[in-house]
Each structure stands twice: as C-alpha cells, then as structure tokens.
Amino acid sequence: MKRQLILEDGTVFIGNGFGSETDKIGEVVFNTGMTGYQEILSDPSYCGQIVTLTYPLIGNYGINRDDFESIYPAISGFIVKEVCDHPSNFRSEFSLDEYFKTKSIPGISGIDTRKLTRIIRTFGTLRGAICSMEVNVTDMINQLKGLTLPTDQVKQVSTKSSYPSPGRGQRVVLVDYGMKHGILRELNNRDCDVIVVPYNVTAEEVLQLRPDGIMLSNGPGDPKDVPEAIDMIKGILGKVPLFGICLGHQLFALACGANTEKMKFGHRGSNHPVKHLVTGKIAITSQNHGYTVNEASLVKTGLEVTHIALNDGSVEGLRHKEYPAFTVQYHPEASPGPEDANNLFNEFIEMIDSFKKEGEKVCQNA
C-alpha cells in the first residue's frame, strides 16, 4: 500500500508501507551502519525518532530472538530503500514487516534514503511523518513546524523499578536511562553483581546499595531534560567509581558543570573513528547521538578530554582529573558495530579494584 513521508521542509516522498499502518511523527535521523538493523530498531535511544538507513537493502537476515537491545522497541518508524520480505538466515524468526506489525511501528520502503540523508545533512535533523495517502500535505507540514517535541523520553523507556542481575564479582549499580542490553551483557560477562535502577534514583538510594561502581547508561533525548540524574551524579561523584556511556557521558559532563548542545545531524553509524589522545590509538566505534559536550565549557570543571571524533573533532571521551570517573560518547558495547573499544569495561573493573585498594590503604594507615 502506498504511503507518504512528509518532512517539515516541505519535501514529500511516496513509498510503500510495511509493518504497522499507523501514522507516526518523529525526528528523522539517519544511520549509516551496513548491518545491525535489529539492534538499531530496538535501541531505546531512538525513542521518538524515525530512523532512515543509508544501506539500501534492509531485512535480509530477518529478526531473530537474540539480537534485541530492548524488549519494547521505542522508535517511531523506519525508512528504507528496499525491504526484504523473504529473509534467509538460520536464526530468523520474523520478517521486518511481520515484526513491525506486532509492535505498531510503521515502515516505508522504496525511498531514496541517500537523497533523504543529504537533505538531513543540509537542513539538520528535521521532523517528519510516515502517514497514509489521505493525510493533507500542507496541514501536516504546518503541524510538523509547530510541533513541540516530547521531553520525557527517558521516563518512557527507563525501568519502572529496580531489579538484580546477580554475579559474584563487583557490585555495579547500572542506572537505566534507556539502557541497551549490550551494556548489561558486558557487565555480566565480567561476573559483575549488577542492580539495574530507574532513571530517577537518588544518590542516597544508590549509596544504600553499597555499590563498588556505578554505570550510567545510554538513553534518548536531551540530557538537560533529566535534571534528577544530574543531581544524583553530583551526590555520588568521588564516592563511587563511575563509568558513563552516551547519555550517561552527557549527564556526567552536565553534573560537573560543563554544557551540552544539539548537533546539526549527529553521529549514527558503526564506523566512526575516535582517537584516544593519550595513546594516539584510533578505535572504529558504534555511535548514536544527537547531542554533544561543548569543549569550551570544560574549563574549570575538573574534567579533561580523553577522546575526540576524527570526523569533526567533537568530544568523545572525558575523565575526571581528581575522582575515579570516565565516560565516552560512543558505544563500547557495540551492538551493533565493531568491538574495538570493548576494553573500556575492563578498565572500569580495574578502576573499581584500585579504588578499593586505595580505600584499604587509607584504613590501614588511619
């Protein structure tokens, strides 16, 4: 069935609908990954966004039971050039069309997604709608222009209550701002005794759990929309070793007094080169973010830049000069993408070990 994709700049694409027939509005963003559509569509950081993929054939290996990054996908829609109706893979359980029908997610195919990506790169991220042919184009453009974007995405996707994911190693409190399961998997692989907590946990509640370390997850939206998280981080800073990823990195920067800003069209893909400033090593990283830490705002925050993006020089990693805390803007858990940065999880565990040893020395000398 024919459907339309309407953008706030007045562009209209006509394509073929797949998945759910609902009409959805969202921020249209592009991802350049050549594989990993299942992880992308289930990454909660895309909550409220319509994702277009620049790779031209999507759905060819189907949807399987293993590769979800969350149980309830939060994206508003998918825009592809060609959707595969007959996936072929030993793990495949559903086609993209079948899966999207069960989750009320509309898809549109037959779109020149590279042209669409060039529009987004020129205009910046823009609002759009996947809707039926009956919708009046002028009315929809006006609606899109006047739209106030939601600010409660983290609340929508975070867990409602705490739950354990037990292990015999370090106790890590993992704050779920819209966590990709890959982060939990990496901590479990290192036998961490994980407790996942909701986004609005307070510093007191975190400290009552007697954590050895705290992990701040990725998540959707503008970090400034989550003031409770900023207060919590201020309350635990220096008391517990901290590692943050993506939204967690941005919240950490805000808690330390730095500023964040919206990027023109963001970084979303699986091949973003990032340079570690100390070693000079380059990692090819998985990324999905539309906000960034403003480098000039780092003066007098106690933070230093550890990593930069080679494509545009933006801040990709931070470290606190005094306290055991570091964060990255990219995704060391990959899912999808290269695993070049996976060692950061080991560095987190090593940071916890040495913080404990320091504490023991202080006790012995007291």
Residues classed as catalytic? 246, 331, 333
How do 57-58 and 163-165 pair as beta strands? unpaired
Minimum distance, C-beta of residue 251 to ligand GLN, in the bound complex (Å): 9
Q: Does residue 158 bind ligand GLN (CB under 6 A)?
A: no
Which among 34-42, 127-135, 193-201, 284-292 is the span making contact with ligand GLN, rule CB under 6 A? 284-292
Site string for ligand GLN, 240-279 (x = CB under 6 A): ------xx--------------------------------
Q: Which amino acid is at 185?
A: R
Distance CA 301, CA 265 (A): 27
Positions 217 through 236 that interact with ligand GLN (CB under 6 A): 218-221
**Which residue in the set 36, 87, 241, 290 belongs to the binding site for ligand GLN (CB under 6 A)?**
290
CB 211 within 8 A of CB 240: yes
Q: How far is the CB of 212 from ligand GLN (least distance, A)?
A: 24
Choice between 33 and 290, CB closer to ligand GLN: 290
Q: Verify binding: residue 289, ligand GLN, rule CB under 6 A.
A: yes
Cβ proximity to ligand GLN: between 87 and 219 the closer is 219
Q: What angle do CA 41, 328, 179 make, to 5 degrees?
A: 35
Considering beta carbons, is residue 140 or 175 the nearer one to ligand GLN? Answer: 175
**Which is nearer to ligand GLN, 19 or 220 (by Cβ)?**
220
Q: How many CB atoms lie within 10 A of CB 365?
A: 6
- By C-beta, is 195 or 251 nearer to ligand GLN? 251
Supply 1's token pair. 């069935």
Classify burial at 234, counting beta carbons within 10 Å of its beta carbon; exposed 0-12, middle 13-18, buried 19 or more.
middle
Task: Identify the residue among 4, 38, 42, 45 touching ligand GLN (CB under 6 A).
Answer: 45
Build a one-symbol-per-residue string for 60-99: x at contacts with ligand GLN by CB under 6 A, - elsewhere: ----------------------------------------
- CA dihedral of 11, 12, 15, 18, whole degrees rounded to 10: 90
Orientation angle between helical segments 227-236 and 247-255, nearest 10 degrees: 70
Stretch of residues binding ligand GLN (CB under 6 A), selected from 80-88, 101-109, 201-209, 216-224: 216-224
What residues form DSSP beta bridges with 317?
A: 307, 328
Structure tokens at 330: 């990219």
Can you tell me the distance from the alpha carbon of 343 to that of 346, in angstroms, rounded to the nearest whole number? Answer: 5
DSSP state of 337: S
Q: In what order do the strands lie in the sheet with 193-198?
A: 163-165, 193-198, 171-176, 213-216, 242-245, 325-328, 315-320, 303-309, 260-276, 282-293
Q: How far is the CB of 51 from ligand GLN (least distance, A)?
A: 12
Q: Which residue, 13 or 177, has its beta carbon nearer to ligand GLN?
A: 177
Q: How far is the CB of 259 from ligand GLN (least distance, A)?
A: 14
Minimum separation from the CB atom of position 115 to ligand GLN (A): 24
Q: How far is the CB of 34 from ligand GLN (least distance, A)?
A: 19
- Which of 228, 114, 215 lies closest to 170, judged by CA? 215
CB of 202 to ligand GLN, least distance (A): 21
Footprint of ligand GLN (CB under 6 A)? 45, 218-221, 246-247, 288-291
